[in-house]
Structure formats: structure tokens, C-alpha cells
Amino acid sequence: MASTGDNHDDGASPSELLIEAARRNNTDLLSEVLLKNSTAEFLNNTCDALGNTALHVAAQYGSYDILDVLLDQEGLEVDPVNKIEGDTPLHKAVFLAREHQELGLEVAELLLDAGADPRVRNKQKMKPLDVTDPRDTKLRKALVNGEYTMTAGNDLVDENDLEDDAGSEGESE
């Protein structure tokens, strides 16, 4: 059962429909829900009984199309932690990869491209990389690259910013 939202005509609330769309990779149902409930607050606060957001559920079930749509929603939190394990959607993608290696990799890469932070630790103090199958070299490489990008990204300077700063030396506003 989802935790927020009003009742829908068939008895299911918008929150329940959102979670169900994520579970079943049902983009038609998601579109219907988003027509009336596309706020970041709704998307970020709707959870199942275990505290999983739609993003967690979509990552857990490999619902790539749903993830693609959700990640385009303004204000969506890409690193929410669930209540039970403290897992992020990226953790869920790694667990998915244990049984469905290619799909798990695709889901993880989609999340990483959207800005998911592979450095977030769950309640067991494990990062997604820590729970990755050691034999899954592609996923491990994607996560290591993601960590590097997040760490180095804090130190990177946009060349356009440097040019703007150089052009404004000695000027006052």
C-alpha cells in the first residue's frame, strides 16, 4: 500500500497506481497518474509499505521505461533511501544485476547518468559497489567511474566560468 494520495475511481489511490506502474513497467498507467500528480513532492514522498519510492521499485524490477520517464520529472530525488535497508535506487539496480546482469547494468547506468550518487551507503554501511557481484566487471566499472565522476566533479571547473572570470577582472558591478 502506498502512503500518500487520494482514492482513484477503481479504488486504488494515485500513490498505489504510481507504485504499481513502477512495478509493472506500465508507462500508460504512469502517464495517467502524472497527468494529475506530477509534483516532485508527490513523486518523492509516495512510498510502498517498505519505504520504497517509485524509483526504488522501478530499479528493483528493472522497469527501464518507467525510470526513464521518472528521471525526467523536475525535482525528482535520485538518491532517496528506503526505510528498511537504507538502500537507494542504485542499490536496488545492483541487486537486480545479480539475477539479470545486463538489465541491472542498464538501470544502474541510467541512474548514474541522472546523477545518482554511488557513494551513498545503506544501513549496513555498504555502497552499491560493495554489494556488486565481484564477477560483474561491467557494473563494477560503471560504479567506480560514477564514484570518480562524483568525487572529481566537485573539483572540476567549467572552462566557461574561467573565461567569464578572466573577462571581468578589474570590473565592478
Residue 45's domain is classified under what CATH number?
Answer: 1.25.40.20
Has residue 172 been placed in a domain?
no
Angle at which helix 14-24 crosses helix 54-61, to 10 degrees, equals 20
Contact (Cβ atoms closer than 8 angstroms) between residue 37 and residue 21? no
Rounded Cα–Cα distance for residues 84 and 86 (Å): 6
Place of cell 513502477: 22
Rounded Cα–Cα distance for residues 132 and 42 (Å): 31
Grid cell, residue 90, equals 542504485
Task: Express each pLDDT in 46-78 by its tens digit.
Answer: 999 999 999 999 999 999 999 999 999 999 999
Can you give the pLDDT at residue 7? 43
Of the candidate ranges 28-37, 100-109, 118-127, 151-160, the one whose mean pLDDT is the lowest: 151-160
Has residue 3 been placed in a domain?
no
Rounded Cα–Cα distance for residues 33 and 12 (Å): 11
Contact (Cβ atoms closer than 8 angstroms) between residue 40 and residue 70? no
Task: Express each pLDDT in 137-168 by its tens digit.
Answer: 999 999 999 999 999 876 544 545 444 444 44
Q: What distance lies between CA 36 and its chain's CA centroid? A: 22
Grid cell, residue 80, equals 532517496
Has residue 5 been placed in a domain?
no
Can you give the pLDDT at residue 154? 62
Structural domain total, the chain: 1
Question: In the chain, at which residue ranges do the beta strands (DSSP E only) sit?
Answer: none
Q: Look up the domain containing 36 and give its range.
A: 14-167
The SS3 of residue 72 is coil
Indicate the length of the chain as a whole number: 173
Contact (Cβ atoms closer than 8 angstroms) between residue 58 and residue 66? yes
Has residue 91 been placed in a domain?
yes
Has residue 136 been placed in a domain?
yes
Can you give the pLDDT at residue 11? 84
Rounded Cα–Cα distance for residues 102 and 87 (Å): 21
Backbone angles phi, psi at 2, to 5 degrees: -80, 160
